[in-house]
Amino acid sequence: MGNRLSKITTRTGDDGTTGMADGSRLSKADLRFDAMGVIDGLNAHIGLLQAYLDNPKIIKQLSDIQHRLFNIGGEIALPNHADIGYIAITDTDIISLEEQLDEHNDTLPYLKEFILPAGSVATAQTHIARSICRDAERTLIKLSLRDGNIRKQTLQYLNRLSDYLFVLARVVARQDGKEEVLWQKS
């Protein structure tokens, strides 16, 4: 890894630009910063979710996901990531997430109704993370269409992650002893 920040207040961004990991500077209004911000927000919400849980296996899975999200932030912060060989997400990461998703889903009853993002605090927090994950996926797709340098594995991982979080919300609801809140047409 490169240099760590020893001084946080640098004043170099006072002109509305921010330095990228490759040394280039971009406007803080650039889509790349929207992408980094939504990934950071997702990571923070997953961190908060962990604080509501007491299942060590799920907490470990979420911690691993946080590390992958940090890697994705690195990919976004390195516009030249392909040139230097930086790989944020591998096919193995996607397969692992799919396996965890399937393992959780196998414990659940067949879904016959739409579920509202509600229930216990932990369930609701899982749904918040899921919705932010969808925001992240859409933002990274926009960035990929604009710049063409977001790897397909990164986009696939975010797509699987939102599915994982949906299934996890159902699991957490049961672990919390709560019913899922089902949508009822008025």
pLDDT digits (tens, 9 = 90+) for 114-172: 888 888 899 999 999 999 999 999 999 999 999 888 999 999 999 999 999 999 999 99
For residues 113, 97, 95, 82, the Cα torsion angle rounded to the nearest 10 degrees is: 120
Q: How confident is the model at residue 63 (pLDDT cuts 50, 70, 90)?
A: very high
Cα separation, 152 vs 135, in Å, equals: 17
Looking at residue 80, what is its pLDDT?
Answer: 83
Looking at residue 22, what is its pLDDT?
Answer: 76
Assess whether pLDDT exceeds 90 at residue 55: yes
Distance of CA 64 to the CA centre of its chain: 11
The per-residue pLDDT for range 66-83, each reduced to its tens digit, is 999 999 999 999 888 888
> Residue 149 burial by CB count (10 A; 0-12/13-18/19+): exposed, middle or buried?
middle
Looking at residue 72, what is its pLDDT?
Answer: 97
Query: What residues have CB less than 8 Å from 184, skipping those under 6 apart?
Result: none
- Concatenated DSSP letters of 132-151: HHHHHHHHHHHHHHHHS-S-
- What's this model's pTM, rounded to 2 decimal places? 0.88
User: Backbone phi, then psi, for 25, in 5-degree steps?
Assistant: -120, 140
Closest CA to 157 of 77, 103, 85, 96: 96
The per-residue pLDDT for range 11-39, each reduced to its tens digit, is 655 667 777 777 778 777 789 999 999 99
Cα separation, 96 vs 68, in Å, equals: 12
